[in-house]
Amino acid sequence: MNFYLRMFLLLQGVYRHAAGKTALGLLITAAYVAQAFAVAKSLNLVFLTESLQGLGGLLLFIGGLVVVRGLLHWLDEIYAKKIAFLMKSKLRQRLFLHILHLGPPYQESYRSGGLQSVLTDGVESLEPFLTSYIPQLLVAFIGSGLIAVYIWQLDWLIGLIVLTGILITVSFPLVMGPIVGRILLDYWRSHARLNAQYIDAMQGLPTLKVFNASQRKGVELEGEAWKHYRHSMEGLTITLLDSTVVKWAGAAGAAFAAGMGAWRVAAGILPLAELFVILFLAVECFRPLNDLVMYWHRSFLGLAAGREIFAILDTAVPVDGPPPAAVRKNRPQSLPAIEFKGVSFAYAGGRRPALKNVSLKINPGETVAVVGRSGSGKSTLVNLVLRFFDPQAGAIFLDGRDIREYPLEHLRDQIAVVFQDTYLFYGTVADNLKIAQPDASAAELERAARLAQAHGFIMELPDGYQTHIGERGVRLSGGQKQRLSLARAILKDAPVLVLDEATSNVDGVSEELIQKALEGLTRNRTTIIIAHRLSTIQGADRIVVLDDCEIKEAGAHKELLAAGNIYAQLVKAQHG
Ligand code: ADP
Ligand code: MG
């Protein structure tokens, strides 16, 4: 679809307001035109007639017009803000949902801060184009057009001059468009890059401090800022050139029209009384066009950002399931089995496969541990079960059904995952737990927290469950965060539980506590425990060893130890 048409369609839902704003713009132009007529008439009275009768009334009328126009301008601004607010919040919501659908892999492929820039500044910068330029387009077309026609029928030669001025005013920006567009796209990109750099530096602040690298990073950021400065100067130069030509065309058009008018009066072709009218109308004719060009320049950043926004919206969701059923089916009563059948998978950017022909069945209620060196493909198993990606060969079955047959929501609803890193949102401990189950009662929160061995430390926080995380120096240790994450998983109460290195960066005491919590948790669930530290998995029913993207061994702890292969080596390496 045409880019500009797509931009216009962003106003969907606020068309009525946009039409209202256009009508206001026309009224404002009409007020200017009425004033031009009134002033011309006053001058005719002063210079061409003997009496000044009626001059007072005219002056009063002009004064009234000025007041009314001020009022209209004020309304116009309010309308613009309202349209902008509705449009921006709708678009942000749409973008956010789409990014959610695209999932973590997409977000990781973007540099940190890049997506934020699009969501905040990018959407913000659309405002001039959508709320000022588009309505003004009609105002200029109708307003300037009608005035030009009126002048034309007063005197066709002057009409021709005015029309030429209009053509230059309208076409020059179009001719310059591609150049200006490219320069301003560079400007937007450097802006987004600078933004991303700062976010990156802020997130890595402790690392910069530790390596004494803040100075160097500062110099790097300054360099980036200078680049941005140069891009903005280029942008300024080109838009100034553009608008100078356009202003010149407007002024010259009005001046030539006046000159030609004077000549036509002298030649006796045009009545003197009409000269004043033409004089003032010619100026008014170019006013809406000048405004239009001004808004066009303000729109460039938004046009660049718009391309980026559409690029995100056009990115196809990598995996999609059938649409969720209108009525959500209850989870099955019996525990599901999970089965990998000949699964092979390679990441888009990966040079070699991450999983090769993996077949593995986890029976209902069974706890299977997956071990293996880092990079052997353990987390990839989790990414595939959650359908962040689909395998290139083979299939995964949940409860006997291919997971691609489940609506994504239903699939993910049945699986609770605890990752190595826990993200805690800004908010209270209770808010963070309720992510798993928004309508959980205080008693349910406490039960989950007790099971996860988290209740104890939560009660020691200043406000217990109502403590704001991250405020007033409330910092949680890795182990505490991990136990909150477990409590979340418990609250979700899904039949399948996946732990991906959940205890890897946790101290010994915490690990013991988590271990205890896990015993209760895995009892009634189909569980996959991925672990680096082998002490965490001895309660598992079965251990699967991944190596070099393939399953190399499977069995009970003692069997594998006795076999003396990879598992035995891993155990030996960890126990010195
Ligand atoms: P593990 O969890 O066992 O440490 P992973 O499953 O994370 O291993 O990774 C398996 C292989 O896939 C590794 O070679 C890793 O570099 C690669 N890999 C992991 N995630 C991605 C990704 N998002 N894009 C490209 N390659 C990836
Ligand atoms: Mg991993």
* Structure confidence at residue 331 (pLDDT): 64
For CA atoms 48, 51, 53, 57, the dihedral sign is positive
The alpha carbon of 165 and the centre of ligand 1 are apart by a number of angstroms equal to 63
Q: Distance (Å, rounded) from C-alpha 522 to C-alpha 530?
A: 13
Q: Provide the pLDDT for residue 270.
A: 87
Residue 548: CA count within 13 A, CB half-sphere: 3
> pLDDT per residue over 410-422, tens digit each?
899 899 999 888 8
Give, for ligand 1, the residue of 371, 379, 530, 549 to mutate: max count of ligand atoms closer than 8 Å to Cβ: 379
Give me ligand 1 centre to Cα 78, in Å: 52
Q: Say how far apart CA 42 and CA 548 lie, in whole Å.
A: 92
| CA pair distance 265, 255, nearest whole angstrom | 15
Torsion on CA atoms 328, 330, 331, 334, rounded to nearest 10: -150
Any atom of ligand 1 within 6 Å of the Cβ of 355: no
- Angle at which helix 272-314 crosses helix 15-48, to 10 degrees, equals 160
The backbone torsions φ and ψ at residue 361, rounded to the nearest 5 degrees and listed phi first, read: -115, 130
Protein residue with least CA distance to atom 17, ligand 1: 354
- How many angstroms from the chain centroid is the CA of residue 284? 41
DSSP structural state of residue 122: I
Q: Read off the pLDDT of residues 351-377 as tens digits, 9 standing for 90 and up.
A: 789 999 999 999 999 999 999 988 899
Higher pLDDT, 471 or 42: 42
Whether residue 480 is predicted with pLDDT greater than 70 in this model: the reply is: yes
Type of residue found at 164 = T
Contact 345, 355 (CB under 8 A): yes
Atom of ligand 1 nearest to the CA of 380: 6
Q: Is 352 in the pocket of ligand 1 (CB under 6 A)?
A: no
Predicted pLDDT at 318: 76
What DSSP line would sit under 174-205, residue for residue?
Answer: HHHHHHHHHHHHHHHHHHHHHHHHHHHHHHTH
pLDDT (average), residues 380-390: 92
Q: Is a pLDDT exceeding 80 seen at residue 503?
A: no
Report whether pLDDT(328) > 70. Answer: no
The label of the residue with tokens 């979700």 reads: 492
* Contact by Cβ (8 Å): 461, 467: yes
The ligand 1 atom at the shortest distance from the C-alpha of residue 347 is 25
Q: Are 325 and 349 in contact (CB under 8 A)?
A: no
Q: Is 380 in the pocket of ligand 1 (CB under 6 A)?
A: yes
Looking from the CA of residue 352, the nearest atom of ligand 1 is 14
The predicted pLDDT at position 422 comes to 84
Could you tell me which residues are beta bridge partners of residue 416? 497
pTM over 0.85: no
381 C-alpha to center of ligand 2: Å?
9
Per-residue pLDDT tens over the stretch 76-121? 999 999 999 999 999 999 999 999 888 887 887 777 678 888 899 8
**Tens digits of residue pLDDT in 161-172:** 999 999 988 888
Give CATH for domain 420-493.
3.40.50.300
Looking only at the bridges linking them, the beta strands covering 401-402 and 393-398 are antiparallel
Q: Atom of ligand 1 at shortest distance to CA of 500? A: 2
Distance CA 72, CA 273 (A): 30
Handedness of CA 113, 115, 118, 121 (dihedral sign): negative
Confidence check: pLDDT of 475 > 60: yes
Asked if domains 335-414+498-504+525-576 and 420-493 share a fold, the reply is yes
Alpha-carbon span 378 to 545, nearest angstrom: 9
Whole-number Å distance, alpha carbon 353 to ligand 1 midpoint, is 9
Report, in angstroms and rounded to the nearest whole number, the Rg of the chain calculated over CA atoms. Answer: 35
What does the DSSP 8-state code read for residue 212?
Answer: T
CA distances from 49 to 52, 58, 59, 144, 272 (A): 8, 15, 17, 31, 12
Separation CA 529–CA 538 (nearest Å): 11
* Average pLDDT, rounded, for the chain: 88
Spatial separation of the C-alpha atoms in residues 227 and 113, rounded to whole Å: 18
The rounded Cα 523 to chain-centroid distance in angstroms is: 41
3-state secondary structure of 527: strand
Q: Which residue ranges make up each domain of the chain?
A: 15-313, 335-414+498-504+525-576, 420-493
E strand or H helix that includes residue 156: helix 156-203
Q: How far apart are CA 190 and CA 231, in angstroms?
A: 7
List, as ranges, residues with CB under 5 A of the ion ligand 2.
Answer: 379
Q: DSSP for 221-286?
A: HHHHHHHHHHHHHHHHHHHHHHHHHHHHHHHHHHHHHHHHHHHHHHTTSS-HHHHHHHHHHHHHHH
pLDDT of residue 298: 87
pLDDT tier at 472, thresholds 50, 70, 90: low
From the CB of 481, is ligand 1 less than 6 Å away?
no
pLDDT (0 to 100) of residue 329: 61
Measured CA to CA, the distance from residue 66 to residue 12 in angstroms comes to 34
Ligand 1, atom 16: closest residue by C-alpha: 375
How confident is residue 502, by pLDDT bands cut at 50, 70 and 90? confident
Q: Is 332 in the pocket of ligand 1 (CB under 6 A)?
A: no
Q: According to the model, what pLDDT value does residue 213 have?
A: 87
Q: Give 15-313's CATH code, choosing from 3.40.50.300, 3.30.1120.130, 3.30.1370.60, 1.20.1560.10.
A: 1.20.1560.10
Distance from Cα 207 to the centre of ligand 1, integer Å: 24
Q: How far apart (Å, rounded) are the C-alpha atoms in residues 526 and 362?
A: 7
- Characterize 85-117 residue by residue with b for buried, 16 or more Cβ atoms within 10 angstroms of its Cβ, and e for exposed: eebbebbbeebeebbeebbeebeeebeebbbeb
Angle (deg, nearest 10), helices 508-522 and 478-492: 10
pLDDT (average), residues 260-278: 89
Instruction: Categorize the per-residue pLDDT at 231 as very low, low, confident or very high, splitting at 50, 70 and 90.
Output: very high
CATH 3.40.50.300 describes domain 335-414+498-504+525-576: yes
Query: Is the CB of 4 within 6 Å of ligand 1?
Result: no
Look at ligand 1, atom 6, and give the residue with the nearest C-alpha.
377
Confidence at residue 247, expressed as pLDDT on a 0 to 100 scale? 86
**Pairwise pLDDT comparison (503 vs 335), residue with the higher score:** 335
- Report how far residue 319's alpha carbon sits from residue 408's, in angstroms, rounded to the nearest whole number: 9
At residue 382 the predicted structure's pLDDT band, cuts being 50, 70 and 90, is: very high
Is residue 469 within 8 Å of residue 427, measured between CB atoms?
Answer: yes
Strand partners, 355: 345
Among candidate residues 398, 273, 269, 285, the one with its CA nearest the CA of residue 336: 398
The helix, strand and coil proportions of the chain, stated in percent and rounded to the nearest 5, come to 65, 10, 25
Q: What is the pLDDT of residues 146-159, one digit of tens each?
A: 999 999 998 999 99
**For the stretch 338-352, what's the b/e string if a residue is b when 16 or more beta carbons lie within 10 angstroms of its beta carbon?**
bbbbebbbbeeeeee
406 Cβ neighbours under 8 A, 6+ residues apart: 321, 322, 398
Q: Is 384 in the pocket of ligand 1 (CB under 6 A)?
A: no
